[in-house]
Amino acid sequence: MRNPSDHFLRCINADFDKVKATLKGSMKMRFERSDDPLEHITTSDAIRRLFSYYQHSQHYLTARQKVDEMARVKGTVLDAGGSQASFGMQACTLTKRSFVNMSRDFGYYWLRLVIYIVVTVCIGSIYLNVGTKYNSILARGACASFIFGFVTFMSIGGFPSFVEDMKVFQRERLNGHYGVLAFVISNTLSAMPFLILITFLSGTLCYFMVRLHPGFMHYVFFVLCLYASVTVVESLMMAIASIIPNFLMGIIIGAGIQGIFMLVSGYFRLPHDIPKPFWRYPMSYISFHYWALQQGQYQNDLVGLVFDNQDEELPKIPGEYILENVFQIDVSRSKWLDLSVLFGMIVIYRLLFFAMIKVSEDVTPWVRGYIARRRVQHKRREAELAMIRTPSLRGYVVDAAPELPADHP
């Protein structure tokens, strides 16, 4: 009833003989009778018996035959590393394993799903049936800003799990089990169903509780935009995890990057008021919040709606006017183009994740070798300085005593 590998390791490990010799005179060993055959045989006898059985087995003959075939081949370099599985098999196996791991780990996606649902229910209850009154203009903007800013911000909670995945990948990558591209593709595919589930459930609750723009295509755009934003954050955190193994530092860096992206998204500071050239170009265009919130969801929600004015006698305000004059948004650009930019960012961040792993594989050994060489040179220099400061007595020359004057006492 043992694991076979544990059984045979116990058979050939001489340390157990010392343990048995130590416990031989104890009360437990004196009064208990063990049925384990290994208690009545020494390690040397077990090794001798295993060796004898192996020499008369078919495994020994097969191995000898293969060794003789290799010995007859001259001038051929044997391939000793790498996986024999095809790229498709590697990606498929890694996807299945990663999916099982994510489904069994409660903190990977299930806890985030619960938190997302709780937060979106809170948003829906606060902005419940927001309507088209004059005050609802800024309320709709604030609701969309919170959803695509702070809700997607919570995706950094999966960073510790990303770090654990990277540790497993690095160990298996050193053993040559699979390539970097197979790992990146499998990680992307295995996470996709969970992210779709999270964004679909939470987005649906929020959309219909707040009563955003009616229409099926508007709802589809909202869910797709939320999915793209969450996936972009996941891709960004995976890229950070590839170079920063400390999950606390990674969360701090990821939170700082997202904070900067939210700052130039166009809500806290209107697009035309963002200082140029650095913050407006290129930072606001690099920010995925800018495309998801300012260029995407605002158009999706406001175009086609008509809002009440401050005074009932004044004419109603169309959503296009609000977009151009209040939120400073170019309505001539399609919202679907903005959504395609978000999906393009997903691809870019995944490629960045791939590139960082490849660079880390090449640069890290060189950096470690350089540091090791500098330490060796430093130690050698310290040893040389120590020899100069403490020379041997053999190198000293004893000067003759100085001549004293004749009248010296």
Residue 100 belongs to a domain: yes
Give the pLDDT score at 271.
86
Which residues are CB-contacts of 140 (< 8 A; sequence separation ≥ 6)?
127, 130, 212, 301, 302
**In the chain, how many domains are there?**
2
Residues 273 and 180 in one domain: yes
Residue 375 belongs to a domain: no
d(CA 216, CA 213): 9
Whole-model pTM above 0.75?
Answer: no
| Residue 398 amino acid letter | V
- With 90 as the cut, is the pLDDT of residue 195 above it? yes
Residues 117 and 241 in one domain: yes
- With 80 as the cut, is the pLDDT of residue 337 above it? yes
Residue carrying the six token digits 């929020």: 206
Residues 180 and 292 in one domain: yes
Quote the crossing angle between the two packed helices 335-389 and 180-210, to the nearest 10°. Answer: 130
Residues 267 and 344 in one domain: yes
Residues 34 and 173 in one domain: no
pLDDT (tens digit per residue) in 111-146: 889 999 999 999 999 999 998 898 999 899 899 989
Peptide bond between residue 277 and the one before it cis (omega within 30 degrees of 0): yes
- With 90 as the cut, is the pLDDT of residue 186 above it? yes
pLDDT (tens digit per residue) in 79-114: 555 677 888 899 999 999 999 999 998 888 898 899
pLDDT band at 409 (very low <50, low <70, confident <90, very high): low
Residue 390 belongs to a domain: no
Residues 304 and 345 in one domain: yes
Give the pLDDT score at 208.
93
Residue 388 belongs to a domain: no
Range of the domain at 225: 87-365
| Residue 226 amino acid letter | L
Residue 241 belongs to a domain: yes
d(CA 152, CA 225): 11
Residues in the chain: 409
- With 50 as the cut, is the pLDDT of residue 394 above it? no
Give the pLDDT score at 405.
56
Give the pLDDT score at 227.
94
Residues paired with 317 in a beta bridge: 307
Residues 29 and 144 in one domain: no
The neighbour count for residue 408, using CB atoms within 10 Å, is: 6
Residues 29 and 137 in one domain: no
Residues 198 and 299 in one domain: yes
